[in-house]
Amino acid sequence: MTNSKLAVNGGDPVYEGNWPQWPLGDKSTEESLLKALYSGRWAISGPYLGEESFERKFSQAFSEFNKSEFCTPVSNGSSSLLSALIALGVGRGDEVIVPGLTWVACATTVLALGAKPVIVDVDLNNLCISPEKVKAAITEKTKAIMLVHAFGAVADLDAFKQMSQEEGIPLIEDCSQAHGAMWGDSFVGTIGAFGCFSMQQSKLLTSGEGGAVITNDPELYLRVEQARSDGRVFSSERMSGAIELKEVGEVQGHNMCLSEFQSAVLLEQLKKLESENKTREKNAKRLIKLLESVDGVESIEYFREGTSPVFYNFVLRFDLSMFESKSIDAISLALSQELNLFIRPIYRPMNEHPLYKPEKSFRHGLKERDEIMRGVDIPNAKLARETCLAFHHSALLTEDVDAMEKMVTAISKIKEFAVDIPDVENLAAI
């Protein structure tokens, strides 16, 4: 029997079980970390002591995982984008097309190099950047197209690959939310010039902070290697006690290196990624199936023909008219309380995002916000913000066979008693 009183109003919650913790340490990660600690080398810029660095070991393991030719570990996801942009020579006067609904780093890294982010709307079905709208936004100044495989759904790479070839504009695939997703037989990140990854705490593979850039192009690889280590690359001649990096300076680099500790963690965590992705997929499929019997709520389109998605934040789309037209923020609070799970609205559209402030960054030479934002019209991103909620992928690692059913029960309950959902002022309580 469903309790008629919503948990948000003091009633009994639908689910009081525990959701899995994220991230998870384990014995092998601990051992790897301790090995780095006592190795005498904590950075790739430390001396070579006869052992391959953890950074090189992770580079190789992540290349093998993705079936890419090359991998450059970097300090975080933002530096993966920055080093890819630097490697492509993006700078002042250039434009880079970025999604209108994603983390701000996609636009702010472009700004950081003095180039102009051109914000383009997303498709409503999977919330990835729209190929038609990207096509319409291309100008003579377009130096790169940055797409995001949003929430683990795979962007329309058929269209983007063709567009990139026809227009001669490189693609940067931001795979920060899609470690292990596939397009046909290829892993995401291997189709464009670069695949960029974040290994920040919330991501599917993490070392707290961390990142990587993969590519199949040997020249671009050497440029990214330099971009992230002040213009240096690994030397083929190494001598015990001496630094393993040699100076090249073909691009203006910066220090965006991943430490040995982070590499040691990633090396072990990577071994769990595939099985964790499978568990998440099993629960996600179950949830998607269960949602078929609920009017007014559906997931975004994860399973598109020819793609294998992964599940980062699981996104639910609401028909608010079936919830007494309550705001998505109010629904977020009510649903979170029923499930003892943090469920929240997704990104604000980039042109309204409080952390996207191009007018405060003068390197691009455009001084007025109006000038930078001219022509930015992203109604789908706005609608998605008003109608979607997401919960973290760790919930999909649950081993409780009833957990997905409870989610659907909770959704049905708040729908039935939607008139009682308190207004949004309470959101700050989360």
Ligand X SMILES: *Cc1c(COP(=O)(O)O)cnc(C)c1O
Which residues contact ligand X by CB under 6 A?
Answer: 76-78, 102-103, 105-106, 148, 174, 176-177, 198, 200, 211
Q: Could you tell me the smallest distance in angstroms from the CB atom of residue 206 to ligand X?
A: 9
Nearer to ligand X, 13 or 349 (CB): 349
| 146 contacts 174 by C-beta, under 8 angstroms | yes
| 346 contacts 329 by C-beta, under 8 angstroms | no
Sign of torsion over alpha carbons 203, 206, 210, 214 = negative
User: Which position has the token pair 């608010």?
Assistant: 320
Task: Give the number of C-alpha atoms closer than 13 A to the C-alpha of residue 365, restricted to the C-beta side.
Answer: 7
Ordered DSSP codes for 291-306: HTTSTTEEE-----TT
> Which uninterrupted H or E stretch holds 213?
strand 211-215
Nearer to ligand X, 245 or 267 (CB): 267
Q: Could you tell me the smallest distance in angstroms from the CB atom of residue 243 to ligand X?
A: 27
Alpha helices in 388-427 (DSSP H): 403-416
Closest residue to ligand X, judged by C-beta, is 77
Please name the amino acid found at residue 310: V
Q: Could you tell me the smallest distance in angstroms from the CB atom of residue 153 to ligand X?
A: 12
Nearer to ligand X, 8 or 104 (CB): 104
User: Which position has the token pair 């080398």?
Assistant: 41
Sign of torsion over alpha carbons 404, 405, 411, 417 = negative
Nearer to ligand X, 344 or 415 (CB): 344
Write b or e for each residue in 250-276: b if 16 or more Cβ atoms lie within 10 A of its Cβ, otherwise e: ebebbebbbbbbbbbbbbbbbeebeeb
Nearer to ligand X, 73 or 77 (CB): 77
Nearer to ligand X, 146 or 408 (CB): 146
The CA-CA-CA angle for residues 304, 158, 123, to 5°, reads 60
Q: Which residues on neighbouring strands pair with residue 195, listed in sequence order?
A: 173, 214
Q: Could you tell me the smallest distance in angstroms from the CB atom of residue 105 to ligand X?
A: 4
Q: Could you tell me the smallest distance in angstroms from the CB atom of residue 129 to ligand X?
A: 11
Q: Could you tell me the smallest distance in angstroms from the CB atom of residue 72 to ligand X?
A: 15
Nearer to ligand X, 206 or 226 (CB): 206
Q: Could you tell me the smallest distance in angstroms from the CB atom of residue 248 to ligand X?
A: 25
Q: Could you tell me the smallest distance in angstroms from the CB atom of residue 169 to ligand X?
A: 20
Nearer to ligand X, 106 or 335 (CB): 106
Nearer to ligand X, 48 or 103 (CB): 103
> Which uninterrupted H or E stretch holds 316?
strand 314-318
Q: Could you tell me the smallest distance in angstroms from the CB atom of residue 204 to ligand X?
A: 10
Separation CA 249–CA 246 (nearest Å): 10
Separation CA 282–CA 46 (nearest Å): 43
Q: Residue 44's closest CA among 271, 264, 268?
A: 264
